[in-house]
Amino acid sequence: MENDSNWAFDTLAVRAGQVRTLEHEHAEPIFPTSSYVFDSAAQAAARFRGDEPGNIYSRFTNPTVRTFEQRLAALEGAERCVATSSGMAAILSTCMGLLQSGDHIVSSNAIFGSTVVLFNKYLSPFGIDVSYVPLADLDAWQRAIRPETRLLFLETPSNPLTEVADITALAELAHANDCLLVVDNCLCTPALQQPLKLGADIVIHSATKYLDGQGRCVGGAVVGNKELVGEGVFGFLRTAGPTMSPFNAWVFLKGLETLHLRMKAHSDNALQLARYLEAHAAVSRVYYPGLESHPQHELACRQQSGHSGVLSFDVKGGQAAAWKLIDSTRLVSITANLGDTKTTITHPATTTHGRLTEEERAEAGIGDGLVRIAVGLEDIEDIQADLDRGLG
Ligand SMILES: *Cc1c(COP(=O)(O)O)cnc(C)c1O
């Protein structure tokens, strides 16, 4: 099926990338095959030389994985997408495919914990240096850029405090300094925010989160143009092998079909819960970009069409009150995952940010009373009632 370039987002989410086989199947098939058969020795030679397009081996290409890649690329408005075995593999493949020893990264300090470990423990011994800056401080980004800076890296909104970066301004800064802007679009997904259209060069996904949306598979993706992603990142991936399995690709590509509906429902539920918490006497502050009280509410409304399902709040009474709230729940799940139909609750100070020192936590704004909720798709009144018990 040819993609119609005029198709809207919701049509692309359901149709893009599908190629029917001779069986005329309606739904997309899974191709669990590690290699492919050639018609002749000459064809095999042509494929290996790169003179003839086509499948050779599933570390390089697989039809189910390709369908997922083409569909996600279409949703982000990109030329190319490369699927990876996890979100972390997407970040690793981007760095390995595009950077070399001596290069420098400027990164937001409010990024996923494993990304910090990847940068500091595993990339730095190979001569890649990383500086960290506050996400929303444009001057700090500018000051941190050096002649050897090659890449600016961020997540927006951040997790758990939902700070928002001005993607357009950072893309201008990056390009004025010959750098690439890489945005981890995990929280918003292309259904709510399309960073490439705002000037970013590469979008990273942990497909594990909202792209699946139902907590089943681990996977990731890198999205961008033919040169950076189709050659640079793909070149590393096909050689080193952190590829996505066809089964996982099938789960994710079916997830994309309902992505827009789910992200809208997550956003609606989260906004209602944020308003309820903001009005609650036991809560001192709520962090959610959809609230008028959020310091970057206007910016968030400009670059996002919704505010996703993740919110945080400070309960009065510190860790004891936060743990009491968490332990009083019967419906929501006590787990650090996010992007699931099932609502999850976590205490960042003693879990995701537990390895930081007290001073580092204070600097990051992770208080002892901070609770993070990734709001799912249950009825909002049931979620509220579940939290009300522990906040009472
Ligand atoms: C989970 C997550 C990752 C890592 O993804 P995995 O699929 O767990 O490897 C990267 N970035 C963000 C923002 C995440 O939430």
Q: Please report, in angstroms and rounded to a whole number, the separation of the first and last CA atoms in the chain.
A: 56
Q: Is the pLDDT higher at 3 or at 122?
A: 122
What is the 214 CA–ligand 1 centroid distance (Å)? 15
* Predicted local confidence at residue 103, as pLDDT: 98
Task: Report in angstroms the alpha-carbon separations of 266 from 94, 138, 220, 258, 292.
Answer: 29, 30, 21, 12, 18
pLDDT at 120: 94
Q: What is the pLDDT of residues 208-218, one digit of tens each?
A: 999 999 999 99
pLDDT confidence of residue 4: 67
Domain assignment present for 3: no
Mean pLDDT of 297-324: 97
- Answer yes or no: do 28 and 128 share one domain: yes
**Claim to verify: residue 242 and residue 292 sit in the same structural domain:** no
Cβ of 253 below 6 Å from ligand 1 = no
- Which of the listed residues 205, 233, 257 is the one where a domain comes to its end? 257
Q: What is the pLDDT of residues 340-386, one digit of tens each?
A: 999 999 999 999 888 888 888 888 889 999 999 999 999 999 999 99
Same domain for 184 and 295?
no
User: Which amino acid is present at 215?
Assistant: G
Token reading at 258 = 């309902």
Q: Are 361 and 376 part of one and the same domain?
A: yes
Predicted local distance difference test score (pLDDT) of residue 317: 96
Q: Does 309 reside within a domain?
A: yes
Q: Assess whether 163 and 297 both reside in one domain.
A: no
Contact 76, 196 (CB under 8 A): yes
Mean pLDDT of 239-247: 98
Range 120-146 average pLDDT: 97
Rounded average pLDDT over 177-183: 98
What spacing in Å lies between the alpha carbon of 391 and ligand 1's midpoint? 30
Ligand 1, atom 11, lies closest to the CA of 112
Tell whether 29 is covered by a domain: yes
> Does residue 277 share a domain with residue 139?
no
Q: Considering 257, 274, 307, which residue would you say is the last residue of a domain? A: 257
Is it the case that residue 1 has pLDDT exceeding 60?
A: no
Tally the C-alpha atoms within 13 A of residue 271's C-alpha that lie toward its C-beta. 13
* 148 and 265 assigned to the same domain: no
Whether 185 lines ligand 1, by a CB cut-off of 6 Å, is no
Decide if 2 is inside a domain.
no
pLDDT band at residue 309 under the 50/70/90 scheme: very high
Q: How far is the CA of 306 from the centre of ligand 1 (A)?
A: 20
The two tokens of residue 387 are 């939290």
Same domain, 172 and 280: no
Residue 188 belongs to a domain with what CATH number?
3.40.640.10
Same domain as 380, residue 242: no
CA distance 35 to 154: 37
We report the CATH number of the domain holding residue 290 as 3.90.1150.10
Sheet holding 80-84, edge to edge: 80-84, 220-224, 202-206, 180-184, 149-155, 104-108, 129-133
The total number of structural domains in the chain stands at 2
- Is 220 near ligand 1, meaning CB less than 6 Å away? yes
Q: What is the DSSP string of 168-236?
A: HHHHHHHHHTT-EEEEE-TTTHHHH--GGGGT-SEEEEETTTTTT-SS----EEEEE-IIIIIIIIHHH
Q: Is the CB of 252 under 6 A from ligand 1?
A: no
Clarify whether residues 198 and 174 are in a common domain: yes
How much is the mean pLDDT over the chain?
Answer: 96
CB of 184 sitting under 6 A from ligand 1: yes
Q: Is the CB of 158 under 6 A from ligand 1?
A: no
Is 90 exceeded by the pLDDT of residue 278? yes
For atom 8 of ligand 1, the residue with the nearest CA is 87
Residue found by looking up tokens 């020192």 in the block = 357
Nearest atom in ligand 1 to 219's CA: 7
User: Does residue 1 sit within a domain?
Assistant: no
Judge if the beta carbon of residue 206 lies within 6 A of ligand 1. Answer: yes
Question: What pLDDT is attached to residue 2?
Answer: 53
Which atom of ligand 1 is the closest one to the Cα of 220? 7
Residues 132 and 246 in one domain: yes
**Domain boundary, last residue among 257, 272, 298:** 257
Distance (Å, rounded) from C-alpha 80 to C-alpha 87?
17
Assess if residue 44 is contained within a domain.
yes
- Residue 195 placed within a domain: yes
Tell me the per-residue pLDDT of 45-100, one tens digit each, with 9 for 90 and over.
999 999 999 999 999 999 999 999 999 999 999 999 999 999 999 999 999 999 99
Is 338's pLDDT higher than 80? yes
The model's pTM: 0.96
Mean pLDDT over residues 300-311, rounded?
Answer: 98
The contacts of residue 373 (CB under 8 Å, 6+ apart) are 273, 310, 311, 312, 313, 332, 343, 344, 345, 387
pLDDT at 358: 86
Compute φ and ψ for 105, nearest 5 degrees: -115, 135
Q: Do 297 and 241 belong to one domain?
A: no
Is the beta carbon of 208 within 6 A of some atom in ligand 1? yes
Centre of ligand 1 to C-alpha 112, Å, is 7
Could you tell me whether strands 129-133 and 149-155 are parallel, antiparallel, or unpaired per DSSP bridges? unpaired
Whose Cα sits closest to atom 5 in ligand 1? Answer: 87
Q: Which domain holds residue 211?
A: 9-257
Domain assignment of residue 4, yes or no: no
Q: Say what percent of the chain tops pLDDT 70.
A: 99
Question: In the structure, what pLDDT confidence band is assigned to residue 254 with cuts at 50, 70 and 90?
Answer: very high
Find out whether the beta carbon of 211 lies less than 6 Å from any atom of ligand 1: no
341 C-alpha to center of ligand 1: Å?
Answer: 17
Residue nearest to atom 12 of ligand 1 (CA): 112
